[in-house]
Amino acid sequence: MSDVVIIGGGPAGASAAIFTARAGLSTVVVDEGKGITRRAEVNNHLGLPEGISGPELVTRGRQHAEKSGATWVEGAAEAIEGSAGAFTVRLADGRELTAAHVVLATGTSVTLAEAAGVATVPGTEPRIKQIVSVDADGRTSVPGIWAAGTVAGVSVHTIVTAGDGARVAINVISEVRGERHVDHDVLPAAG
């Protein structure tokens, strides 16, 4: 059983995975590789003044998540069963993953959320029809299932969805640990 299964490997899911894996939570990302970021040419992401293609950003996100310790599974999740602390995520090819927490980072798709009984509401961002209903921390209507990024209703930009994935991951880690989580690396002292 993993601590966290993150469904969706775009900017939101990969960023969430970097944080949960670096915090020592066993983390699995399930991604079917069909997100909207793969159609983007991104020139407004902090730290990338030359711009980056969406596919390259997604690839780098996967590499970063894996380097941080996350396991990346290529495939489509079609069901989430069980309850907080003991979820089973079933993939279309029959594989099953178990986890204490699930983070939905499925971009424009609420299909899996609705199949899992997670409440959705109309989206408010341009061209986003339906989103998962979340509280201020990213919790959905089902205890133990969280949501981040486009599917959680934030502004549809890579810097925002990546930041939202990180933010929700920090809230998951903080709940697991029972104290607010901070992930700061520090430069060695000059000398």
Complex with ligand FAD: residue 57 or 100, whichever CB lies closer: 57
Cα–Cα distances (Å) from 54 to 11, 59, 78, in that order, read 10, 9, 25
Number of residues that bind ligand FAD (CB under 6 A): 36
3-state secondary structure of 8: coil
CA atoms of 55 and 71, how far apart (whole Å): 19
DSSP character string of 14-67: HHHHHHHHHTT--EEEEE-S--GGGG-EE--STT-TT-EEHHHHHHHHHHHHHH
Binding pattern to ligand FAD, positions 86-125, x when CB under 6 A?
-------------------xxx-x--x-------------
144 with 102: CB under 8 angstroms? yes
- Which of 17-25, 154-162, 166-174, 180-188 is the region at the interface with ligand FAD (rule: CB under 6 A)? 154-162
Regarding 42 and contact with ligand FAD (CB under 6 A), the answer is: yes
Residue from 18, 31, 116, 168 touching ligand FAD (CB under 6 A): that is: 31
Neighbours of 141 (CB within 10 A): 15
CB-based contacts of 1, cutoff 8 Å, min separation 6: 86, 98, 99, 100
Residue from 2, 37, 120, 140 touching ligand FAD (CB under 6 A): that is: 37
Regarding 27 and contact with ligand FAD (CB under 6 A), the answer is: no
Regarding 8 and contact with ligand FAD (CB under 6 A), the answer is: yes
Regarding 7 and contact with ligand FAD (CB under 6 A), the answer is: yes
Comparing every residue's Cβ against ligand FAD, the nearest one is 10
Complex with ligand FAD: residue 44 or 185, whichever CB lies closer: 44
| Smallest separation, CB 162 to ligand FAD (Å) | 7
- Antiparallel, parallel or unpaired: β 86-91 and 77-83: antiparallel
Complex with ligand FAD: residue 46 or 182, whichever CB lies closer: 46
Backbone dihedral angles phi then psi of residue 77, each to the nearest 5 degrees: -80, 130
Please give the biggest Cα pair distance in the chain: 57
> What are the residues binding ligand FAD (CB under 6 A)?
7-13, 30-37, 39-44, 54, 76-77, 105-107, 109, 112, 149-150, 156-159, 161
